[in-house]
Structures are given as C-alpha cells and as structure tokens.
Structure 1
C-alpha cells in the first residue's frame, strides 16, 4: 500500500482523522527546524517557532486552499513565524558548541569553529528578507520557485534578495579568504 500524499493527509485531518496531521508534521518537522535554526540562530527559539508553526497549521488546515503544495504552505507558515520572532525579540548572542566530543582526526577544529561562528554571525546580520531567501535557497537548497511560494513573493524577488544577501555575506566574510592566503 502506498503512503498517503500530503494532500491526502490534510484532507484526512480536515475530515477528523486524529493521526493524519501528526504524520504530516513528522514528514517535515526536522526540515522545518533546520530552516528555523538558521534563521533564528538559536536552537530553543527554532524549536519553539516550529511548534508554533505546526500549531498554526493544525488550526488553519480548514483554510488551506490547495493553491500551493502542502509542503510549501507549511514552510510559508514557518518562515512567517520566524520573521515575526525576529522582529519582536531582542537579538541574543549565542555561541553554539558541538553536542558531542569532536573527532581527534580533524586537525583544524578551532579554525572550523571560528569559520562556522563567523557564518552564523554574518547570516544574523542580514536583513530578515535576505536572510530568509539565502537560508531557503543556499543553505536548505530549495528551488527558486518553491522558495518564492514559501516567501509569497515573485521568483525575481527571491533572486534579487539572494543576490544582495550573497553580496553582503561576501563583504562580511571576506576576512576568511584573506586568512586562507
């Protein structure tokens, strides 16, 4: 038996199936968290926003019109929740540390950590709209048309936001190239 499609699951949820939305959320939760953590730069905030987005989607399932895929609809709710969080909270400085012991075989762990922190800080310095576009397209690998659907803007707007964001990142991270030389 084939697994139900996303559209089947949303329809089943609307019809009262208690398990359908849980299955749908399970399909996308980890990917949603990946987007949220890169946009918010804080794992706990990301977890909260994913939870808020899934609750909002659960409650708004009746208003889903099917104009976009269920996946795009869920991610649009998530990105909007991330943008709301960014706009309403004071910026926090968080230094992420690995949760497990690093392998001893990697010779330049300190350099890698410095680079990772620089990239995280640079992403956080981008305007929210550029950060959302860069995270979706360049970090998560979404196609431009799907990122445009999630952000609810034309494809050209996503391209220009990515271009401006990349240019800003190049300036903010230019010192990393100089260190390699």
Structure 2
C-alpha cells in the first residue's frame, strides 16, 4: 500500500489511478465532515464533488505531499464555509440533526427531554460566531485536535484553542438550564 506522499507525486503527474486511490482514502471522511457541518446530505455530496475537482486541479501546488490529509480537510472546510455563507441564519439551527427524535426510547418523558435539549443546543449554536461554530463542530463532532483544526482553518493552534474555549463558554452559559 502506497503512502499519501507517493500517491500525491504520481497524481500530480497526471496518474488518475493514483488520484482515485488517494481520494478513495478520504472521500468518506470528507462526506462525513461536510454532512456534520452542513446537516444536509445533498449539500455534503456537492462538497465532496467540489473538493474532488479542487484537489485534482490544485494537487500540484501542494508544497508538502505528506500533509495532503490536512490540506484536503482544509479544502473541505472552506467549501463548507462557502455553502454556509449562502444560507440564512435560521437555517443554521438545523446544523446538528435532531438525533433524539429518531432514537427509540421506552421512556416518553426522557425522550421529550432529550428532544428539547437537542433543540436548545441547536438554538445555542446559532449564537456562536461562524469561526467559533466551525471550530466547535470540528472539535466536538469530528473529534479533531487543536493543531488539526488550526491547519484546516488556516490559523494557529492557540487561536483554535481560544475559539473553542470561547465557544464552549458561550454554549455552557446558554445551556445552563440543561445541567
């Protein structure tokens, strides 16, 4: 199995098989990232296509072929931001799926409480700034470390850490009634 850097080198030279192999490694994660950020399957599929095209066109510009994973996630993040910029603020309420509504629970009062908590979280998320929201999603939903978030967002690790801290403080304050 070839490493990413080797595949990047071959794909940069026009090897479509190497590109397909490289993209195959990450397309599932690209889709999941876009789906979690955007909350819409069709938009996520569109992002995967845009990222594929952008990756093919700009792969030769990558200065460190071993960093292709981070670069692809940065391209994905930027494409998701472009989609989010086109949305109205009210649409951001649906960023996180209402998983509680689709989860079979035997206890109706607990089910109602879980649904209400998810709705409250959705509303609280709309009060975050877009950079805080995206940092929070990358950390809490995708489980990415600060350094990876910084690389995707194009900032420093300290800035990602600070944005995440501010987002968590804001959400904690907004969700105080749910403790």
TM-score in same-fold range (> 0.5): yes
2:157 match = 155
In the TM superposition, 1:55-94 aligns within 5 A as 55-66=53-64, 69-91=67-89, 92=91, 94=94
Q: Is 2:5–2:66's contact at 8 Å kept on the other side of the alignment? A: no
Root-mean-square deviation (Å)? 2.6
Q: Which runs of 5+ in 2 are unaligned?
A: none
Deviations 1:59-110 (A, max 9, x none): 1111111177111000111111111222233242549466xx7446576344
Distance 1:165 1:14, change over 3 A: same
* Structure 2 equivalent of residue 15 of structure 1: 13
Segments of structure 1 that go 5 or more residues without pairing to the other structure are none
Alignment partner for residue 128 of structure 1, among 118, 121, 130? 130
Distance 2:162 2:11 in 1: 37
What do residues 35-81 of structure 1 show as CA deviations (whole Å, max 9, x unaligned)? 22232233322222232122211211111111771110001111111
Give the Å deviation of 1:128.
1.2
Segment drifting more, 19-28 vs 88-97: 88-97
Aligned residues: 174
Which one has the bigger helix percentage?
2
In structure 2, the CA distance between the partners of 1:124 and 1:56, relative to structure 1 (3 Å rule), is farther
Pair 1:144-2:142 in alignment: no
Distance, in Å, in 2 between the alignment partners of 1:117 and 1:85 is 22
